[in-house]
Amino acid sequence: MVRIHNKYLFPWRERNSFHLLVDGQRYFPAMLGAIDRARYSILLEMYLVSSGKVLEQFVEHLQAAAQRGVMICVLLDDFGARGVSPVDRQRLQVAGINLRYYNPVRYQRLRRSLLRDHRKLLVVDQDIAFTGGAGIADDFWRFDDATGQWLDVVVQARGDVVGDWRQLFADIWRQWSDVPLVDCAAGHASGSQLGRVVVNQTPRRLEVKRALLKRVQSAERRVWLSTAYFVPSLKLRRALRKAAGNDVDVRLLLPGPRTDHPAVRHAGRRYYQRLLRAGVKIYELQPRFLHAKVLLCDHWVSVGSSNVDRWGQRWNLDANQEIDDSDFADSVAAFFQEQFSLSERIELQDWLQRPWYRRLLEWFWGKIDAWIHSK
């Protein structure tokens, strides 16, 4: 079992190398290539999975690995995988692929069914790991459009943190399967970047939120946050306003009109006015749906599955990769700068003059959000 290190499941690890992969045309080929090089085991844990060309490629590569004798364990969230066709479910149940579903939805126990595995994780042997916000779905990589409809990022990790990702998968796998994982020798740790795996395991362990608050409160230069569903806690809103008041460059990169949950966007926009008055800069991405969950505070970065929203903190299993490294932070800052250039910046004076019907939507969905989180 995992040992607890000073309120965190895993400690900081020094011998790592990380790469930021932006968009499906970069991270999907990297993940499939790692599957093709697997020698011992492939561990795949996913929330959003749906049938299509992307899943078809993953199934084909996993089947080929199984034929080579690689042990494959796949854990899909039962609700997030509802878009997987019966044909694809059958293809994933061939010899050599151990397929399990996390917390099968039972409508007679609806409250328990709200607990979801929101992680996105691929671990190959004990050599390489991938984590981020992307699911296995065509929305992240449209084959007729190189950029896809949904913008997301994935971190590729090598080094000591891979063992922690493997352990995290093993702990949840034991709850849903009696198939033991094969032992793997650790890969060569040639990097020198500092990294830590942080997790949210409802309802008590909220490491992603704790780490973010600490970094926002101690930031000296910048706090740039990207999230698909902006429904932050009161503590985070206060921390962002205070940081902006201390001359820290605080920016939020949020979805614009393109979103899969308009109601959540309206509910989150009710917080704009106080944030703008405090000096927080807000950008809404225009051409695509922003699905990336990226946190940047000075030279610290956190990338993973957590939206740091109240719903996720209450109901979801999430995990992020933290990296404390100036070079990696520069690559993340470049990602933000590119997206800021494609976004509409919300100005306070324009926001105060927005139409009445938008205010009504914010009020209505804000009431719904408050009611849900009071239960």
Helix or strand (DSSP H, E) at 31: helix 24-36
Residue 350 lies in a domain: yes
161 and 252 in a single domain? The answer is no
Left, alpha or beta for 298 (phi > 0: left; psi -120 to 50: alpha)? left
At residue 331, the pLDDT reads 97
At residue 4, the pLDDT reads 46
At residue 108, the pLDDT reads 64
Residue 4 lies in a domain: no
Sign of CA dihedral 193, 154, 328, 237: negative
Strand partners, 322: 196, 302
**Cα separation, 65 vs 92, whole angstroms:** 12
Residues whose CB falls within 8 Å of the CB of residue 41, separated by 6 or more in sequence, listed in order: 70, 71, 72, 73, 123, 124, 125, 181, 182, 184
- Give helix 53-67 / helix 24-36 axis angle, nearest 10°: 10
Residue 43 lies in a domain: yes
225 and 93 in a single domain? The answer is no
Among 192, 225, 246, residue at a domain's last position: 192
**Cα separation, 97 vs 181, whole angstroms:** 12
Residue 70 lies in a domain: yes
Q: How far is CA 72 from CA 139, 162, 181, in A?
A: 25, 17, 9
**Cα separation, 332 vs 328, whole angstroms:** 6
**Cα separation, 245 vs 236, whole angstroms:** 14
Residues whose CB falls within 8 Å of the CB of residue 237, separated by 6 or more in sequence, listed in order: 271, 274, 275
Among 140, 159, 192, residue at a domain's last position: 192
301 and 317 in a single domain? The answer is yes
Pairing of strands 249-255, 281-285: parallel
Which residue ranges in the chain fall short of pLDDT 70?
A: 1-6, 108, 110-111, 113, 143-148, 187, 202-204, 311-312, 373-375
In this prediction the pTM is 0.93
Q: How far is CA 278 from CA 13, 212, 341, in A?
A: 36, 19, 23
Residue 10 lies in a domain: no
127 and 254 in a single domain? The answer is no
258 and 286 in a single domain? The answer is yes
Output Rg (C-alpha) for the chain, integer angstroms: 20
361 and 303 in a single domain? The answer is yes
187 and 204 in a single domain? The answer is no
At residue 10, the pLDDT reads 95
170 and 246 in a single domain? The answer is no
CATH number of the domain that 91 lies in?
3.30.870.10
216 and 267 in a single domain? The answer is yes
316 and 361 in a single domain? The answer is yes
Among 192, 211, 235, residue at a domain's last position: 192
106 and 214 in a single domain? The answer is no
Residue 281 lies in a domain: yes
Residue 7 lies in a domain: no
Pairing of strands 289-290, 281-285: unpaired
278 and 292 in a single domain? The answer is yes
Domain count, the chain: 2
> E-assigned strands of the chain?
16-22, 41-46, 71-77, 97-102, 116-117, 121-124, 128-132, 150-151, 153-159, 194-201, 205-206, 222-226, 249-255, 281-285, 289-290, 294-297, 300-304, 316-324, 343-346
Strand partners, 295: 225, 302
Residue 308 lies in a domain: yes
Domain that holds residue 41: 16-192
Question: How many Å separate Cα 170 from the centre of its chain?
Answer: 19
